[in-house]
Amino acid sequence: MPSSPRICGLMLAYFKADMTLKCLRTLAGQGIETIMLVDNSHCPEEHQRTLQLVQHFPKGWLKVVIAEDNLGFAKGMNLALDHARQLGEWDYFLLLNNDITAKPDLVSQLVEYMQQQANIMLLGVHADAGDHLQGKLYYQRLTGLMFTKPTLGSFPVVPGYCVLIQPTAISDHLFDPRYFMYGEDVELSWRMLQQGKKIAILPKPLLAHKSAQSSGEASLFYEYHINRGHWLIVQALGHNHVERIIMYTLRLLLLSARAVLRSWRFRSMTPLKALLMSGLRLPIRPVLTVKPHEKTYTVA
């Protein structure tokens, strides 16, 4: 592999162009050859703001794809990957949230670690979340609970806010397109492990990250997709019919308790309503304050 590997960044944007610009500025000059940015905003005014971000960076470094609709995280990232592949062969893809603030050595540290551990296909990193560190989590298959340490029946999950991945680890799609958002990183980690691929996380906090910047915690959108992700994960992780019944039952109990507590906390029936709706595939999207527009699809 060359001393200076070809790295393509993959990123989504949903409004908040100023936040995206702040993030991109912390990544410029770190050895990323190109960043493919998919705008999921479904708003012509916001599309223009996103397209204008290109002028802040060297020509060709930032490429903007305007999605035909709000595709969600999984399909949006898959679209970014498709466009990146059209540009040629890459040594690494770097999946990035637009709500992170990277330290100057983020990319070099990730690449160095992966080059030293050639058998790692999926590499994440710890993040400074303000009052705590985000890092490797362990997903308990039967209950759907997350833990910070290994537990019986759990497996490691690489959080999706910043992931370095080797192209050979991707066969067809990167993320399962059934996930709109939430749960796709669990499914990806599980799929990699089931295929015998090694995943890891760099223990250093090389970026800052604040979650739920685009989804709106406690909104119908947030609550629906959190719950919906749990049901989809059962389909991916359950080995047989009996096991899936157990997984569905345990999740129903735990998610019901969660919905009741959150409805009380926020003085709103939205969490309970979202749980009831989550068993169905519904077009639940964030509430827009702009008038919908005709579908467009352009690349800058």
pLDDT at 293 over 70: no
pLDDT at 211 over 70: no
Rounded mean pLDDT, 85-105: 95
Output the pLDDT for position 287.
61
Output the pLDDT for position 3.
63
pLDDT at 258 over 70: yes
Q: Which residues contact 50 (CB under 8 A, 6 or more apart)?
A: 13, 17, 20, 37, 39, 41, 64, 66
Rounded mean pLDDT, 188-204: 94
Q: How far apart are CA 287 and CA 175, in angstroms?
A: 25
Evaluate whether the domain defined by 7-215+291-299 bears CATH number 3.40.50.10420: no
Q: Is residue 212 very low, low, confident or very high in pLDDT (cuts 50, 70, 90)?
A: low
Q: What is the pTM of this model?
A: 0.89
pLDDT at 300 over 50: no
Domain map (residue ranges) of the chain: 7-215+291-299, 220-277
Output the pLDDT for position 299.
40
- The first and second tokens of residue 79, run together, are 């679209």
Q: Is residue 83 very low, low, confident or very high in pLDDT (cuts 50, 70, 90)?
A: very high
